[in-house]
Amino acid sequence: MAPDRGTAVGSVTAAQPYIELRRAGHTVYGAARRVPKMDALHEAGGHTLAMDARDSADLARVVDTVLREQGRIDVLVNNAGTVLHGAAEDVPLDLARDQFQVNLFAPARLVQLVLPSMRDHRSGTIVNVSSIGGEIVLPLGAWHYASKHALEAYSDTLRMEDEPFGVRVVIIQPGITKTGFEDQTAAQLRQYSGNGAYRHMAEAMAREAATGLAGGSDPAVIAQAIRAAAESDHPETRYAVGAMAQQLLQLNRTLPDREFDKLATRAIR
């Protein structure tokens, strides 16, 4: 194992990015609500902590623990997130608020907690894992896409504010990836929109979700992008990686809105 290259802390949906950093010689802390999800990180020599992204006191406790034990945080990786499917008209707003709590406000609070130390050291990298859904949208996912669009706008502003202090801010935009993240897509679509005005659209998308990840990338691709961003002195502002990421983003950036709408809804019409 290489000597420690820096201290990285992250909120975890999948442990693989943190294992990648640990194998590269970083001191790594992974925090998640379900600690057993991080067993592989622990086995690789990383530190694991329980943390509920919805609990502000929990976020502060984790950051305080790392600073107390290591003296500094060099990299923050915000990788935790949830996904919510259903027509915008149908999804209860309390669930939409929770989506924003996990996907936007928890990362933002962690940033607030680590920035004073990074500014003191005039060095640090904040990696916010978004999605190609931070730029594009598909039907029946309004609140998920809204939260990711918000995370990207937040990250862009943060980058401008903290570059003078030596703090780098990076957005990772995964494309279609083979994780367990979308396992509940079909069930959510049918629960919230399966019986109303959007039922035909919801059922078509539920069927599409069953096969939609077949051509997805291995999560290792995302882990490697996070490591590249964390280790670079001059990282890109955005890393669009994984299946169809570059292609879909380019289509969205070049096609007129209504033409992209037709493309995005073709499978469910």
Q: Which residues are bridge partners to 228 per DSSP?
A: none
pLDDT tens-place string over residues 62-80: 999 999 999 999 999 999 8
What does pLDDT average to over the chain?
A: 91
- Please give the pLDDT value at position 180: 66
- Please give the pLDDT value at position 178: 74
pLDDT along the chain (269 residues), means of 10: 59 76 93 87 92 95 97 95 95 97 97 98 97 96 97 98 98 86 85 96 88 73 94 96 94 96 89
What is the model's pTM? 0.92
Domains annotated on the chain, with CATH:
7-263 (3.40.50.720)
